[in-house]
Amino acid sequence: MFVSWYGITPDDIYGDTIANLVPGVTASTSGSQVTAVIASTSNFYVGGVLALSESLSSRAVTDITIEENGTVDAQTSLDNIKLLYETDTTYPYDCASVSYGGSEAQYGATDTDGFSGANGSATFSSSTVLVATTSALCVYPVMDILDSAANGDTINILISNASTSIVVSPLAEVAPTTTIEFSGSTQIQNDILTQTDFHFRNDNGTEAAATSKTGNAPNIALTLAKNTPVRIRLEVSNSGGTTSPSV
């Protein structure tokens, strides 16, 4: 853009031509992360949507980088990270008229080795996914929650700087330069199994009727004779946030 005027005054300021007054692409998030997820869940949709809107023309979204900064170790406890997407062609083109269903197309390839670090990033690339003035791009983060995640760990997905984390072609400014993140965080629930007691019993009678080998007192250590069978009962407690698998 350039401006010309008449009547020069001492307060006039001269400078370079400004290409555009608004960014080509604007990134925003809406919706909230899912409150809780059980460890060992595959294809977990974290919740929320990343919306990319275009104000000038049509262009390809070639790279999207997302980050994770919750308490979970995102490199070892999150895996098979992917971005699913669809377009919103309903005015005002902000992804409000669409929602995640699970059958959306995939943007780029699956990240099969977790985020880049405990608080790390994952980058996805494509040359065929477009954003246009009448078509917003709506992106959904999906991943596997591994059993190595600790009970109470949290997941928090964000984009720290859209101007560098999102790349478009033809090249254009992407806003904002500040952090955008989904509302809330997701807490991981996992079992915590602990052996709390043991009790040696004689090898007689049924499982219920076998007599105690330690005078009905639990947690008494024994010296076991060679080739002499004894029974032991174990008590295991689960102080975690979800039911354990069969043990």
pLDDT tens series, the chain, 247 aa: 445 555 555 555 555 555 555 568 999 999 999 999 999 999 999 999 999 999 999 999 999 999 999 999 999 999 999 999 999 999 999 999 999 999 999 999 999 999 999 999 999 999 999 999 999 999 999 999 999 999 999 999 999 999 999 999 999 999 999 999 999 999 999 876 678 787 889 889 888 889 988 888 888 898 888 888 988 888 777 777 677 776 6
Cis previous bond, 170, omega within 30: yes
| pLDDT number for residue 195 | 80
Question: Residue 24: its pLDDT value, please?
Answer: 87
pTM of the model: 0.78
DSSP letter at 132 equals B
CA 46 → CA 33, 177, 234, distances in Å?
5, 23, 38
Task: Return the half-sphere exposure (C-beta side, CA atoms, 13 A cut-off) of residue 214.
Answer: 16
Predicted local distance difference test score (pLDDT) of residue 9: 57
The reported pLDDT for the residue numbered 14 is 55
Query: What pLDDT is attached to residue 21?
Result: 52
Pairing between β-strand 136-145 and β-strand 49-54 as defined by DSSP bridges:
antiparallel
Q: What is the reported pLDDT for 238?
A: 75
Question: CA distances (Å), 85 to each of 88, 100, 154, 175, in order?
Answer: 10, 9, 24, 20
Residue 183 Cα distances to 31, 35, 49, 50, 82, angstroms: 6, 10, 10, 11, 20
User: Can you tell me the distance from the alpha carbon of 29 to that of 241, in angstroms, rounded to the nearest whole number?
Assistant: 29
Cα dihedral sign for 90, 94, 95, 96? negative
